Every structure is written in C-alpha cells, then in structure tokens.
C-alpha cells in the first residue's frame, strides 16, 4: 500500500527536508500542510501522490477512500473539502496498456456518489456513471483491462445532479496511461521532477470555506472563481530543473475556459490531446482548454537556469503557477519529431450521421430538445460502424461536448475542415464549442456491447450537465 511506502511527513520535518533535491515527489496534495520553501516562504507546488498498487494475482489493485476532509489553502484556517485518501483531490493512478486493474473506491462520505474514469476505454458497467452509484459506506470497483494508447486521463464523480458540487469540493485525480510506444520515446517521464501533472481549477471562498452558490446567470455563463488554484494550492512555486519539462494540463474547473501560456510569452510544444499523443509536436504560445479537456505540453527551460516564469491564464489574467528554474538538469531529454501514428477514419466510409443540438434557457438545458432522463436511452450505436456526429451550439453561451466509451477525431469546425487547429488533430473525448458554433467529429465504437447499461454524452460545463445537458447511448 502506498501509505506504507510513503510515510506521513509532518510540516516541521518537511521544511527541514525541503532543502533536499527532488523532494517534490513525496509531496502529496494529501499532506495536511502544503510544503514551504524555507528560503522564500512560498508554497511549493504539491504533486499528487503516485499511488502504488497492491498486486493480487495478475491484477493491480488501487485502493481509494472517498471522504470528507480539511485542506490548508490558507495559513489562517482550513477549508472543508471532499478528498480521496488525502485532504484535497486524489492520488495519481499510473497504468500501462494491457494492465489488469481494479480501482477500488470506498465511499466514506455521508452521501452517495460515483467515480468515472474520464477518457478510459472501459465497459459501460465499469464506467462510473450515474448508473454505478456508490452508497455511503459501500465500495465499488472499476475492474478492467487497460486497452488504449498512452494518455492523460482523470477520475471524478458523475452522480446525477451532483457532479458539480462533488467536483467543486475536491474530488478529482489523474489516471496516467502509458504504452510501450510512449515509454520508448525520449520524453520527460520522471514523475514529479520533469513530468508534472497540473489540475487547474478556480474557486470562490468566504471565510476560508468554499462558496458554491451560482446565480441563474452564473449557471448559464459559468461559475468562475476569483481564486485560481493548481493541485490544490494558490499560486505555488515549482522548482524546475533547467531542461525540458512536461506538464500534463487538466482543466478540472466546473465551467471556466482557460487560455494558458507563459508570462514571457515563450513558445512550447503540445504533445498530446485528451486521449493520445499527437503524431508530431505542435508549437504554440497559447493552449485553450475547456472543462475536462487535457493537453500535455513540453516546455524547454534548458537555457533558463536562474530565471522565473509563470504559467499564466490569459483570459482571466491570473497566475496559476510560478516556475523557478533553479536546479541543474539531472538527466536530459530531446523532444522527438514523431510521437505516434493515429488511426484516421474516412468520412466516406460512414453510414450514419447524428446531430446533437445544445439548447437551454432559465437554468435548464437540453440536447435535441430533451433534458437528461436516466431511464431513457437516446441513441443506439452499432459496434464497428463509422459515424459522423455533429454538435451544434444553438446558444450564445459556451458549451463543450464529451463522450464516454471512446475517443473521436474532429473533422470540421463551423462546416470547415480548415477550422480544425493543428493541436486539435488528435484523439479527443471533449471538444470546446463556443456560442453559435458547431463541430463535426468522426467516431467508431470498437468494444464492449451492452444493450442495457448506457454510456453518457454531455456538456462538461458541470452546471449545464447537472441541469439536463446530458444524454445516454448504448453500444450494440
Ligand atoms: Cu454547457
């Protein structure tokens, strides 16, 4: 068990230890206090604990407890949270394509929830949707064989009508998928040293407690916090080696779109979209992520020893993270030009098109005129059929569209294939659709038929999802 492997470190011993290099690895979002750099008195970036599995037979068991906790966002007081194992957020689960895994959740909350593996390619009954409720004091396991390409995925609640509330309180963690191909690439992969997961969120606080009280207008337009946090810390510092650093960026917010870049406007390379590496790195100086979307980026700090730069959110003018490049590189990497090959389905081979129109008013939301009904199957999708799905945002407010079960590839934005940006030409499971815009994607279900238990498709702006902007499909 990971707890035994990573003994609890109290604050005092931590400060003493923090002079030691590479300690970042030991810092959980779960320790009661965030670590402090004793030279600058600034909080260091917490790195979610990398959870070690118990191996029983050939199955890797990851044991997680969902519970109420208190987390130190502020020096003066602790904040009531929900958390998994620690005090806010959750440990990182790292799996390899082909692994047999059992992700075991014990619900120690006083209310029911669920736990969905966002981006995981799993049978519907293992998907952790509103159909796999975990009642208080009960346990539930997502047991499956990992069968997908390397990706940065995540897990979070998906309980009917309460997803926004449960995520806001702190339930979210990474599932990092690796495969043989990704492991052979010369990419930064030392967890916590040059391979850094970042859960990006924003929150409102009143008297150091979360304030989750969206008005009707905020339900429609987004409940944006004034305090931006990363891995459960407010504007912490990451002490980087002077080399290429890989950041696994996750927009873990309820409903805020982030336009991310660096304070010196430097360029970086995006290497992965939601569900796989890109075929080649794409050079950018901004990357936009709507809620639920991920991007892996590699930024080269090899000539920057002694400098500081911020990971900055340009839409809301907020600093997420200060990066102090203050360590000599202890290993080097060199970003490859070719990362992977992606299967590109041919639209001419598609027999079926489906249209999903997003609408809503007065705090209620619909897809194709209907609000989510857990007892209604909206779409029946045959196995192995190539399909085109078009999603139209008929509103003036932003939405996105997320599908479970598998990934898709975007083929048009607003009726135009040239409208698909280079860094969107990869495997996606969530796509941002601005007010009045539309997106067409190509998709094929390749596994796991089940005529009864559905998968979901929905807007991942959580206030919209909870108020009806969700539907269900079965794969047959
Ligand atoms: Cu929406």
Residue ranges of domains in the chain, CATH in brackets = 2-181 (2.60.40.420), 195-327 (2.60.40.420), 347-475 (2.60.40.420)
Q: Among 106, 137, 103, 131, which residue's Cα sits nearest to residue 117?
A: 103
Q: Are strands 386-393 and 438-444 parallel, antiparallel or unpaired?
A: antiparallel
What spacing in Å lies between the alpha carbon of 216 and ligand 1's midpoint? 14
| pLDDT in the model for residue 384 | 96
What spacing in Å lies between the alpha carbon of 425 and ligand 1's midpoint? 22
What spacing in Å lies between the alpha carbon of 318 and ligand 1's midpoint? 23
What spacing in Å lies between the alpha carbon of 233 and ligand 1's midpoint? 27
What spacing in Å lies between the alpha carbon of 460 and ligand 1's midpoint? 6
What spacing in Å lies between the alpha carbon of 88 and ligand 1's midpoint? 26
What spacing in Å lies between the alpha carbon of 403 and ligand 1's midpoint? 13
Q: Which two tokens stand for residue 234?
A: 């407010």
Q: Which two tokens stand for residue 366?
A: 């619909």
| pLDDT in the model for residue 332 | 96
Q: Which two tokens stand for residue 141?
A: 């396991």
pTM assigned to the model: 0.92
What spacing in Å lies between the alpha carbon of 464 and ligand 1's midpoint? 5
| pLDDT in the model for residue 13 | 35
What spacing in Å lies between the alpha carbon of 372 and ligand 1's midpoint? 13
What spacing in Å lies between the alpha carbon of 462 and ligand 1's midpoint? 7
| pLDDT in the model for residue 35 | 53
What spacing in Å lies between the alpha carbon of 255 and ligand 1's midpoint? 8
Q: Among 321, 67, 273, which residue's Cα sits nearest to residue 171?
A: 67
What spacing in Å lies between the alpha carbon of 163 and ligand 1's midpoint? 14
Report residue 152 CA to chain centroid gap: 7
What spacing in Å lies between the alpha carbon of 360 and ligand 1's midpoint? 9
**Other beta carbons less than 10 A from residue 226's beta carbon:** 11
| pLDDT in the model for residue 42 | 73
What spacing in Å lies between the alpha carbon of 74 and ligand 1's midpoint? 31
Averaged over successive runs of 10 residues, the pLDDT of the chain (476 residues) comes to 36 34 43 49 91 97 98 97 98 98 98 98 97 98 98 98 98 98 98 98 98 96 95 98 98 98 98 98 98 98 98 98 98 98 96 96 96 98 97 97 98 97 98 98 97 98 98 98
**Other beta carbons less than 10 A from residue 424's beta carbon:** 22
What spacing in Å lies between the alpha carbon of 266 and ligand 1's midpoint? 31
What spacing in Å lies between the alpha carbon of 150 and ligand 1's midpoint? 28
Compute the distance between CA of residue 22 and CA of residue 330 in angstroms, rounded to an integer: 10
What spacing in Å lies between the alpha carbon of 434 and ligand 1's midpoint? 10
What spacing in Å lies between the alpha carbon of 286 and ligand 1's midpoint? 23
What spacing in Å lies between the alpha carbon of 202 and ligand 1's midpoint? 17
């Amino acid at each position: 068990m990971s707890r035994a492997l990573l003994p609890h470190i109290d604050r005092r011993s931590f400060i003493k230890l923090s002079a030691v290099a590479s300690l970042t690895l030991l810092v959980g979002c779960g320790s009661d206090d965030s670590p402090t750099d004793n030279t600058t008195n600034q909080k260091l970036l917490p790195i979610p604990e990398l959870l070690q599995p118990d191996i029983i037979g050939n199955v890797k068991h990851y044991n997680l407890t969902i519970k109420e906790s208190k987390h130190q966002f502020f020096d003066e007081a602790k904040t009531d949270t929900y958390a998994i194992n620690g005090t806010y957020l959750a440990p990182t689960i790292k799996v390899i394509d082909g692994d047999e895994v059992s992700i075991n959740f014990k619900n120690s909350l006083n209310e029911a929830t669920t736990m969905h593996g966002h981006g995981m390619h799993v049978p519907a009954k293992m998907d952790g949707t509103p159909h796999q409720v975990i009642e208080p004091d009960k346990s539930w396991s997502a047991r499956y064989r990992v069968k997908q390409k390397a990706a940065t995925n995540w897990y979070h609640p998906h309980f009917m009508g309460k997803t926004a509330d449960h995520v806001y309180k702190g339930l979210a963690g990474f599932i990092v998928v690796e495969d043989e191909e990704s492991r052979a690439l010369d990419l930064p992969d030392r967890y916590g040293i040059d391979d850094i997961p970042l859960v990006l969120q924003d929150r409102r606080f009143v008297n150091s407690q979360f304030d989750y009280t969206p008005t009707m207008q905020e339900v429609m337009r987004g409940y944006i916090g004034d305090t931006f946090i990363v891995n459960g810390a407010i504007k912490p510092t990451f002490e980087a080696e002077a080399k290429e650093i890989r950041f696994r960026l996750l927009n873990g917010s309820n409903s805020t779109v982030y336009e991310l870049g660096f304070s010196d406007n430097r360029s970086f390379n995006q290497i992965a979209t939601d569900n796989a590496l890109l075929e080649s790195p794409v050079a950018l100086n901004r990357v936009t992520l709507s809620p639920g979307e991920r991007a892996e980026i590699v930024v080269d700090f090899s000539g920057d020893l002694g400098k500081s730069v911020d990971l900055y959110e340009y839409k809301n003018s907020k600093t997420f993270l200060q990066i102090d490049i203050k360590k000599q590189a202890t290993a080097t990497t060199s970003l490859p030009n070719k990362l992977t090959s992606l299967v590109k389905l041919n639209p001419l081979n598609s027999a079926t098109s489906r249209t999903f129109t997003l609408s809503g008013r007065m705090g209620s939301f619909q897809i194709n005129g209907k609000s989510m009904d857990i007892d209604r199957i909206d779409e029946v999708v045959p196995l192995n059929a190539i399909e085109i799905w078009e999603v139209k945002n008929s509103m003036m407010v932003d939405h996105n569209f997320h599908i479970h079960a598998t990934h898709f590839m975007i083929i048009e934005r607003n009726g135009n294939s040239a409208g698909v940006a280079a860094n969107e030409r990869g495997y996606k499971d969530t796509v941002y659709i601005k007010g009045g815009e539309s997106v067409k994607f190509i998709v094929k279900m390749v596994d796991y038929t089940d005529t009864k238990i559905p998968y979901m498709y929905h807007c991942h702006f959580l206030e919209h999802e909870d108020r009806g902007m969700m539907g269900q499909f079965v794969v047959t």
